[in-house]
Amino acid sequence: MNQNRAFVMLGVLYSLLLLLGLVALVLGGGSMMVVIQLAVGAMAVVGLWGYILKRGFMSPRVWRPLSYFLAAAAVLQAVALFTTHPSSAQITYLLIGIVYSALLVTILYQYGDRDQDIWNSPDEIEGGKVLSELLAQHQELVVEKQQANRQAIVNVSRVDHHYLASVVRGVETQERFEERFTRPSTLAFFIERYTCISVGDFARKYAGDTTLAH
Protein backbone atom coordinates (compact mmCIF):
# COMPACT_ATOMS: atom_id res chain seq x y z
CA MET A 1 0.00 0.00 0.00
CA ASN A 2 1.51 3.33 -1.03
CA GLN A 3 1.33 6.48 1.08
CA ASN A 4 -1.33 8.17 -1.05
CA ARG A 5 -3.69 5.20 -0.77
CA ALA A 6 -3.14 5.10 2.99
CA PHE A 7 -4.10 8.78 3.25
CA VAL A 8 -7.20 8.20 1.11
CA MET A 9 -8.27 5.38 3.43
CA LEU A 10 -7.64 7.66 6.40
CA GLY A 11 -9.80 10.34 4.78
CA VAL A 12 -12.59 7.83 4.18
CA LEU A 13 -12.36 6.62 7.80
CA TYR A 14 -12.55 10.14 9.23
CA SER A 15 -15.44 11.00 6.90
CA LEU A 16 -17.35 7.91 8.07
CA LEU A 17 -16.69 8.78 11.73
CA LEU A 18 -18.03 12.27 11.08
CA LEU A 19 -21.10 10.85 9.33
CA LEU A 20 -21.76 8.48 12.23
CA GLY A 21 -21.49 11.39 14.63
CA LEU A 22 -24.00 13.40 12.61
CA VAL A 23 -26.43 10.46 12.51
CA ALA A 24 -26.09 9.97 16.27
CA LEU A 25 -26.73 13.69 16.80
CA VAL A 26 -29.87 13.63 14.66
CA LEU A 27 -31.26 10.46 16.22
CA GLY A 28 -30.34 11.01 19.83
CA GLY A 29 -29.85 14.73 20.15
CA GLY A 30 -26.82 16.20 21.86
CA SER A 31 -25.46 19.13 23.79
CA MET A 32 -23.94 22.27 22.34
CA MET A 33 -20.50 20.78 23.08
CA VAL A 34 -21.29 17.83 20.78
CA VAL A 35 -22.38 20.23 18.05
CA ILE A 36 -19.13 22.19 18.41
CA GLN A 37 -17.09 18.97 18.31
CA LEU A 38 -18.83 17.89 15.11
CA ALA A 39 -18.30 21.32 13.54
CA VAL A 40 -14.58 21.23 14.36
CA GLY A 41 -14.41 17.65 13.11
CA ALA A 42 -16.07 18.64 9.84
CA MET A 43 -13.53 21.42 9.28
CA ALA A 44 -10.69 19.02 10.09
CA VAL A 45 -12.00 16.51 7.54
CA VAL A 46 -12.18 19.23 4.89
CA GLY A 47 -8.55 20.09 5.60
CA LEU A 48 -7.58 16.42 5.52
CA TRP A 49 -9.14 15.95 2.08
CA GLY A 50 -7.48 19.14 0.88
CA TYR A 51 -4.13 17.73 2.00
CA ILE A 52 -4.83 14.37 0.32
CA LEU A 53 -6.07 15.87 -2.96
CA LYS A 54 -3.45 18.65 -2.93
CA ARG A 55 -6.16 21.27 -3.26
CA GLY A 56 -6.40 24.55 -1.41
CA PHE A 57 -9.69 24.74 0.52
CA MET A 58 -10.70 27.88 2.40
CA SER A 59 -7.57 29.80 3.50
CA PRO A 60 -4.15 28.64 4.74
CA ARG A 61 -4.65 30.95 7.74
CA VAL A 62 -7.41 28.60 8.97
CA TRP A 63 -5.51 25.34 9.22
CA ARG A 64 -2.59 25.98 11.55
CA PRO A 65 -4.78 27.53 14.27
CA LEU A 66 -7.09 24.53 13.89
CA SER A 67 -4.11 22.19 14.32
CA TYR A 68 -3.16 24.06 17.52
CA PHE A 69 -6.74 23.70 18.77
CA LEU A 70 -6.72 19.96 18.09
CA ALA A 71 -3.34 19.59 19.79
CA ALA A 72 -4.68 21.39 22.88
CA ALA A 73 -7.79 19.19 22.80
CA ALA A 74 -5.66 16.03 22.67
CA VAL A 75 -3.56 17.22 25.62
CA LEU A 76 -6.63 18.07 27.70
CA GLN A 77 -8.18 14.69 26.95
CA ALA A 78 -4.94 12.93 27.91
CA VAL A 79 -4.84 14.88 31.17
CA ALA A 80 -8.46 13.93 31.87
CA LEU A 81 -7.66 10.30 31.10
CA PHE A 82 -4.82 10.08 33.62
CA THR A 83 -5.94 12.47 36.35
CA THR A 84 -9.62 11.53 36.70
CA HIS A 85 -11.37 8.21 37.19
CA PRO A 86 -13.37 7.78 33.99
CA SER A 87 -15.70 4.88 33.35
CA SER A 88 -14.95 2.31 30.66
CA ALA A 89 -17.18 4.16 28.20
CA GLN A 90 -15.50 7.46 29.02
CA ILE A 91 -12.05 5.91 28.59
CA THR A 92 -13.05 4.71 25.13
CA TYR A 93 -14.43 8.13 24.25
CA LEU A 94 -11.28 9.89 25.47
CA LEU A 95 -8.95 7.52 23.62
CA ILE A 96 -10.88 7.97 20.37
CA GLY A 97 -10.74 11.74 20.82
CA ILE A 98 -6.99 11.68 21.47
CA VAL A 99 -6.23 9.51 18.44
CA TYR A 100 -8.63 11.49 16.24
CA SER A 101 -6.98 14.79 17.18
CA ALA A 102 -3.35 13.60 17.23
CA LEU A 103 -3.44 12.15 13.71
CA LEU A 104 -4.76 15.40 12.27
CA VAL A 105 -2.44 17.83 14.06
CA THR A 106 0.62 17.26 11.86
CA ILE A 107 -1.42 16.95 8.67
CA LEU A 108 -3.31 20.21 9.19
CA TYR A 109 -0.14 22.00 10.32
CA GLN A 110 1.60 21.04 7.08
CA TYR A 111 -1.51 21.82 5.04
CA GLY A 112 -1.62 25.33 6.51
CA ASP A 113 1.86 26.18 5.24
CA ARG A 114 1.30 29.14 2.85
CA ASP A 115 4.48 28.32 0.95
CA GLN A 116 2.90 25.68 -1.32
CA ASP A 117 1.69 25.69 -4.92
CA ILE A 118 -1.80 24.64 -3.82
CA TRP A 119 -2.38 28.11 -2.33
CA ASN A 120 -1.16 29.98 -5.41
CA SER A 121 -3.04 30.81 -8.60
CA PRO A 122 -2.06 29.46 -12.04
CA ASP A 123 -0.68 32.92 -12.91
CA GLU A 124 1.47 32.91 -9.76
CA ILE A 125 2.74 29.41 -10.54
CA GLU A 126 3.64 30.53 -14.06
CA GLY A 127 5.26 33.67 -12.67
CA GLY A 128 7.27 31.53 -10.28
CA LYS A 129 8.59 29.51 -13.21
CA VAL A 130 9.72 32.72 -14.91
CA LEU A 131 11.55 33.92 -11.79
CA SER A 132 13.15 30.51 -11.30
CA GLU A 133 14.39 30.47 -14.90
CA LEU A 134 15.80 33.99 -14.57
CA LEU A 135 17.59 33.08 -11.33
CA ALA A 136 19.15 30.12 -13.10
CA GLN A 137 20.83 32.67 -15.41
CA HIS A 138 21.51 35.50 -12.94
CA GLN A 139 22.87 35.43 -9.40
CA GLU A 140 20.35 38.05 -8.30
CA LEU A 141 17.50 40.05 -9.79
CA VAL A 142 16.87 43.68 -8.89
CA VAL A 143 13.95 45.81 -10.08
CA GLU A 144 13.08 49.34 -9.00
CA LYS A 145 9.73 50.89 -9.90
CA GLN A 146 7.66 53.94 -9.06
CA GLN A 147 3.96 53.95 -9.82
CA ALA A 148 1.85 56.96 -8.84
CA ASN A 149 2.46 57.34 -5.08
CA ARG A 150 4.01 53.88 -4.74
CA GLN A 151 7.67 53.03 -5.01
CA ALA A 152 9.56 49.80 -4.42
CA ILE A 153 12.89 48.09 -4.91
CA VAL A 154 12.90 44.30 -4.93
CA ASN A 155 16.06 42.22 -4.78
CA VAL A 156 15.57 38.51 -5.45
CA SER A 157 18.18 35.79 -5.05
CA ARG A 158 18.44 32.09 -4.39
CA VAL A 159 20.20 30.83 -1.28
CA ASP A 160 20.59 27.05 -1.09
CA HIS A 161 17.06 25.72 -1.67
CA HIS A 162 15.28 28.94 -0.74
CA TYR A 163 14.24 32.06 -2.63
CA LEU A 164 15.07 35.28 -0.81
CA ALA A 165 13.14 38.48 -1.51
CA SER A 166 14.40 41.77 -0.01
CA VAL A 167 12.02 44.69 -0.34
CA VAL A 168 12.37 48.43 0.15
CA ARG A 169 9.09 50.25 -0.38
CA GLY A 170 7.64 53.68 0.24
CA VAL A 171 8.23 57.22 -1.04
CA GLU A 172 8.60 59.56 1.92
CA THR A 173 8.85 56.89 4.61
CA GLN A 174 10.62 53.72 3.58
CA GLU A 175 10.22 50.29 5.11
CA ARG A 176 12.51 47.33 4.60
CA PHE A 177 11.68 43.66 5.00
CA GLU A 178 12.60 40.31 3.54
CA GLU A 179 11.11 36.85 3.31
CA ARG A 180 12.31 33.36 2.36
CA PHE A 181 10.30 30.88 0.32
CA THR A 182 10.74 27.34 -0.90
CA ARG A 183 8.30 27.66 -3.81
CA PRO A 184 8.90 30.21 -6.59
CA SER A 185 5.14 30.62 -7.02
CA THR A 186 4.91 31.96 -3.45
CA LEU A 187 7.77 34.32 -4.28
CA ALA A 188 5.76 35.63 -7.23
CA PHE A 189 2.68 36.00 -5.01
CA PHE A 190 4.67 37.90 -2.37
CA ILE A 191 6.22 40.35 -4.84
CA GLU A 192 2.96 41.21 -6.57
CA ARG A 193 0.89 41.34 -3.39
CA TYR A 194 3.18 43.57 -1.32
CA THR A 195 4.84 45.79 -3.92
CA CYS A 196 3.95 47.65 -7.11
CA ILE A 197 6.34 45.40 -9.05
CA SER A 198 5.16 42.48 -11.18
CA VAL A 199 6.87 39.38 -12.53
CA GLY A 200 6.55 41.02 -15.92
CA ASP A 201 8.88 43.80 -14.77
CA PHE A 202 11.58 41.22 -14.06
CA ALA A 203 10.92 39.51 -17.39
CA ARG A 204 11.21 42.76 -19.33
CA LYS A 205 14.45 43.76 -17.60
CA TYR A 206 16.25 40.42 -17.73
CA ALA A 207 14.67 38.48 -20.55
CA GLY A 208 12.96 41.09 -22.72
CA ASP A 209 9.69 39.16 -22.45
CA THR A 210 6.76 41.57 -22.55
CA THR A 211 4.11 38.86 -22.77
CA LEU A 212 4.15 38.38 -18.99
CA ALA A 213 3.63 42.02 -18.11
CA HIS A 214 0.53 42.75 -16.07
CB–CB of 201/192 below 8 Å? Answer: no
> What is residue 139's predicted lDDT score, i.e. its pLDDT?
93
Asked whether the predicted pLDDT for residue 209 surpasses 70, the reply is no
**Using 50, 70 and 90 to split pLDDT, how confident is the model at 30?**
low
Asked whether the predicted pLDDT for residue 44 surpasses 50, the reply is yes
Q: Give the other-Cβ count within 10 Å of 157's Cβ.
A: 15
> What is residue 200's predicted lDDT score, i.e. its pLDDT?
95
> What is residue 29's predicted lDDT score, i.e. its pLDDT?
65
Q: What is the DSSP string of 76-94?
A: HHHHHHHHS---HHHHHHH
Give the model confidence (pLDDT) of 155-184 as tens digits: 999 998 999 999 999 888 899 999 999 999
Tell which residue, 61, 166, 165, 183, has the closest CA to residue 126: 183
Angle at 161 between CA 157 and CA 167, to 5 degrees: 30
| Distance spanning both ends of the chain, measured CA to CA | 46
Percent of the chain with pLDDT over 70: 95
* Euclidean distance between CA atoms 205 and 57, whole angstroms: 36
